[in-house]
Amino acid sequence: MDNVNKYIHLKNINIIENPKGSIYHALKFSDEEFNGFGEAYFTTINFNETKGWKFHKKMIMNLIVPFGNVRFNFIHEGSSTCEAIIIGEDNYKRLTVYPGVWMSFTGLNETKNIILNISNIEHNSSEAINLPLDHFKLKNYK
């Protein structure tokens, strides 16, 4: 596992090739990043579209992109720089995001970009804060 910082962990996960259809690993109970189960859902992001900024107070997200490629953008409160991580078909990994960091994400493939989020708690709108994309004045944000 690659600890990018205390809020973001990146881990290689397996794709088991099979001529009848491949198996894409996501998260196991025995994985260090498993922090309980609240819900799992898929979301899509269109090509060159960005969703965010979102800040979770309690939710731990385990993000996997089995189809397409997605750039996840992170910023810490008070920072003027953005940290970006791309995962997906070209870089199949699990991205674990802990509470306390602002996040947005951008679709990079012209075909469908699908994100699976396996979170430790169920969605609760009072648990997250949303801000418009232009809220942060960033030096290196695309």
Calpha distance 59→127 (Å, rounded): 8
Q: How do the pLDDT tens digits run along the chain, 142 residues long?
A: 455 578 899 999 999 999 999 999 999 999 889 999 999 999 999 999 999 999 999 999 999 999 999 999 999 877 777 899 999 999 999 999 999 999 999 999 999 999 999 999 999 999 999 999 988 876 555 5
Would the pTM count as exceeding 0.85? yes
Quote the longest CA-to-CA distance of the chain: 50
Q: Which two tokens stand for residue 34?
A: 């498993």
Calpha distance 21→10 (Å, rounded): 25
- Bridge-partner residues for 40, per DSSP? 118
34 contacts 117 by C-beta, under 8 angstroms: no
Instruction: Tell me how long the chain is.
Output: 142
pLDDT of residue 1: 46
pLDDT of residue 106: 96
* Secondary structure element (H or E) that encloses residue 15, with its range: strand 15-16
pLDDT of residue 4: 57
